[in-house]
Amino acid sequence: MINAIIVDDELKGRNLLNELITNRFPEINIVALAKDADEGIENILKYRPGVVFLDINMPRKSGFDMLQEIKPVFFEIIFITAYDKYAIRAFRYHAFDYLLKPIDAEELSNCIERLKEKQLQLDFKGRLESLMTQIHQPLQIPDRITIHSLDGITVIPISDIVYLEAAGTYTLFYMKNKEKIVSSLNLKEYEELLTDHHFFRIHNSFLINLAEVKKYIKTEGGSVLMTNENEVSISKRRRDEFLKLLGANKVSL
């Protein structure tokens, strides 16, 4: 049983989420509903929940402002937000779950399943601090990414990634130190995050770091040799764009 608190200034939103959770997830026990950040803090300190469903955009005091007043943050957070591309991008970089309004029952189910699979991680404080830094500097591109790996949550420097490979609904990270990390998210999720870091989807199965390309191999199908000596295929329809990007990044062929 996981005790939970919902903090949302919209009465309809609070009641709908409460109803969805109560009717579908008996393992989640809603101990309090809060209409604003101050009431949320009061209930959090009183009930000490395992998770807080936290609306970001509340009058007078936002969800982020509320978190700044709780030291330390001892609970998992599932953020609730209307579409905000900068906030959503930050959540995904730092492996925090979020729900978009209006809340979709299937997305809620996915969040609950991930919540049940993981324990509060030792690096939670660091992830939250990094998230708050990015929220206050939304145009700054992070140099690290947080991965939901099979062993828990892993934070890695983006520059240490050689390439990523799709493995069904999972993604394999190939690192400079020869380590291989398995993520529970699919490759599309990372393509959207890493494009700004000069990564390119060279094939449906591969997303490569252009800075780690060692050689383009001009065979009939075409392939790329990476700095870890692994060879990855390049799709014909993406070859011209890839070669153009290599030239722009001054990588020799």
Whether 227 contacts 176, CB under 8 Å: yes
- Assign 139 a pLDDT band (cuts: 50, 70, 90): low
Whether 55 contacts 81, CB under 8 Å: yes
Whether 17 contacts 8, CB under 8 Å: yes
Mean pLDDT score, 226-233:
94
Per-residue confidence (pLDDT) for residue 93, from 0 to 100: 74
> pTM, whole model, 2 decimals?
0.61
Per-residue confidence (pLDDT) for residue 187, from 0 to 100: 92
Mean pLDDT score, 42-54:
95
Q: How far is CA 95 from CA 58, 102, 185, 197, in A?
A: 23, 21, 10, 18
| Higher pLDDT among residues 12 and 120, named by residue | 12
Residue 47 has pLDDT above 60, yes or no: yes
Residue 252 has pLDDT above 50, yes or no: no
- Assign 137 a pLDDT band (cuts: 50, 70, 90): low
Q: What are phi and psi of 119, to 5 degrees?
A: -95, 165
Return the CATH number of the domain spanning residue range 144-248.
2.40.50.1020
- Residues 122-134 pLDDT 10s: 456 666 766 777 6
Question: For domain 2-136, which CATH number applies: 3.30.460.80, 3.40.50.300, 3.40.630.30, 3.40.50.2300?
Answer: 3.40.50.2300
Cα separation, 55 vs 49, in Å, equals 16
Per-residue confidence (pLDDT) for residue 136, from 0 to 100: 65
Cα separation, 69 vs 231, in Å, equals 50
Residues 231-251 as b or e (16 or more Cβ within 10 Å = b): ebebeeebbeebeebbeeeeb
Domain-wise residue ranges, the chain: 2-136, 144-248
Note if the bond before 102 is cis, omega within 30 degrees. Answer: yes
Residue 253 has pLDDT above 60, yes or no: no
Question: Amino acid identity of 122?
Answer: L
Tokens of 77: 């957070």
Q: Are 2-136 and 144-248 in the same CATH fold?
A: no
Q: What are phi and psi of 97, to 5 degrees?
A: -80, 155
Per-residue confidence (pLDDT) for residue 117, from 0 to 100: 66
- Residues 21-30 pLDDT 10s: 999 999 999 9
Mean pLDDT score, 192-216:
92
Q: What is the chain's mean pLDDT, rounded? A: 86
**Residues 6+ away with beta carbon under 8 Å from 183:** 147, 148, 149, 170, 171, 172, 173, 190
> Helices (H) and strands (E) in the chain — how many of each?
8, 15
Mean pLDDT score, 199-222:
90
- Assign 150 a pLDDT band (cuts: 50, 70, 90): low
Q: What percent of the chain has pLDDT over 70?
A: 86
- Collapsed DSSP state (helix, strand, coil) of residue 221: coil
- Lowest mean pLDDT, pick from 86-100, 138-152, 163-177: 138-152
